[in-house]
């Protein structure tokens, strides 16, 4: 089988992670979680093409990490002399955190993505929230036959220095017109579709109803993660739920959604089955909470999960 090409478009962060116990850990993050987990799981089967900016301040540190993986290309990486996104992530509990951004890099332009339009998968991960404009996405859709995967993530967070706050996306239908697969968590789902949750605990029936709404907008697959509970799969006019079997001791959930999308994609590229792929990704992302920062991406023990076909 030929190697498949996956281009990952998004931002690199310098994350300062503060656990609920007050322990501080500094780690490179953002789409680096996608880059490394795709490389680990995909091995010789997947060729990874990051499209991003990297600050001059951490360029050497970043490239040193990538050099460990022969299936990662650095052709789409651009140096930014002004620096790298800095994110302070303070955990209130295992699944809730306060996010503060002190620096933003530039928006990723169409000309940076253009050389990679023939990739099998174009994965857009909104780490900063403004990573790519809607107009750029429309141009990509017009000029590419690739499967386009959108991880909503911080698209529903206002771009502002200081603590990030959620806000509804008014033009969400324009975003989904130009993609094939979408991923988000339950809170992001409701803000993305313009119906912010009224309570901290989100009702399952509302989640299912909203996923079905998205499926009417020509999306092939809708993936909605729900922390330690599990994940929803929207597919062919119906919604399925996969319980999380690996409710391990949670050290850090940072990057787990990115590891979910990477493991889903690799399994889906092999099996073409969203159910097998969703179960696998759910298990992998659940087990990845055992480690902190990007080292969870190289802990290959949790990628070796036996899925019965």
Q: CB–CB of 85/101 below 8 Å?
A: yes
DSSP string, 165-214: -B---TTHHHHHTT-SEEEEEHHHHHHHTT---SSSSPPHHHHHHHHHHH
Mean pLDDT of all residues in 270-279: 94
Q: Which residue has the higher pLDDT, 37 or 293?
A: 37
pLDDT of residue 248: 60
**Distance of alpha carbon 175 from alpha carbon 137, whole angstroms:** 8
87-118 confidence digits (pLDDT tens):
777 877 766 778 777 777 889 999 999 999 99
**Distance of alpha carbon 174 from alpha carbon 217, whole angstroms:** 10
129-183 confidence digits (pLDDT tens):
899 999 999 999 999 999 999 999 999 988 766 677 888 998 999 999 999 999 9
What domains are there in the chain, each with its CATH number? 4-303 (3.40.1190.20)
Q: Which residue has the higher pLDDT, 245 or 54?
A: 54
pLDDT of residue 142: 98
- pLDDT band of residue 83 (cuts 50, 70, 90) is confident
Q: If 0-12 CB within 10 Å is exposed, 13-18 middle and 19+ buried, where does residue 162 land?
A: exposed
Token pair 């493991």 is at which residue?
263
Buried b (16+ CB within 10 A) or exposed e, 198-217: eeeebeeeebbebbeebbee
- In the 8-state DSSP scheme, what is residue 69? -
**Distance of alpha carbon 42 from alpha carbon 29, whole angstroms:** 19
Q: Which residue has the higher pLDDT, 179 or 199?
A: 179
Q: CB–CB of 245/286 below 8 Å?
A: yes
31-76 confidence digits (pLDDT tens):
999 999 999 888 888 999 999 999 998 999 999 999 999 999 999 9
pLDDT of residue 161: 65
Mean pLDDT of all residues in 198-215: 89
pLDDT of residue 94: 66
């Amino acid at each position: 089988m030929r190697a498949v090409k996956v281009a990952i478009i998004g931002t690199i962060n310098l994350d300062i992670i503060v656990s609920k116990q007050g322990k501080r850990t500094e780690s490179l993050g953002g789409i680096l979680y996608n880059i490394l987990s795709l490389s680990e799981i995909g091995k010789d089967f997947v060729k990874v093409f990051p499209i991003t900016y990297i600050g001059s301040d951490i360029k050497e540190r970043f490239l040193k990490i990538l050099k460990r993986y022969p299936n990662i290309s650095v052709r789409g990486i651009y140096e930014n002399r002004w620096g790298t996104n800095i994110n302070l992530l303070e955990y209130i509990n295992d699944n809730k955190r306060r996010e503060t951004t002190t620096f933003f890099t530039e928006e990723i332009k169409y000309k940076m993505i253009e050389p990679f339009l023939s990739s099998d998968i174009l994965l857009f991960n909104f780490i900063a929230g403004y990573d790519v404009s809607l107009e750029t996405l429309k141009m990509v859709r017009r000029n590419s036959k690739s499967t386009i995967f959108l991880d909503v993530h911080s698209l529903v967070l206002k771009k502002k220095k200081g603590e990030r706050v959620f806000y509804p996306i008014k033009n969400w239908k324009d975003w989904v017109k130009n993609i094939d697969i979408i991923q988000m968590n339950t809170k992001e789902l409701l803000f993305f579709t313009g119906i912010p949750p009224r309570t901290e605990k989100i009702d399952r029936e509302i989640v299912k109803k909203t996923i079905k709404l998205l499926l009417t907008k020509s999306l092939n697959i809708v993936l909605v993660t729900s922390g330690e509970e599990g994940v929803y799969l929207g597919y062919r006019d119906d919604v399925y739920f996969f319980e999380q079997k690996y409710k391990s001791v949670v050290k850090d959930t940072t990057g787990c959604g990115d590891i979910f999308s990477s493991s889903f994609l690799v399994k889906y590229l092999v099996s073409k089955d969203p159910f097998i792929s969703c179960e696998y990704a759910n298990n992998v992302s659940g087990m990845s909470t055992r480690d902190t920062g990007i080292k969870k991406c190289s802990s290959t023990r949790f990628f070796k999960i036996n899925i019965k076909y």
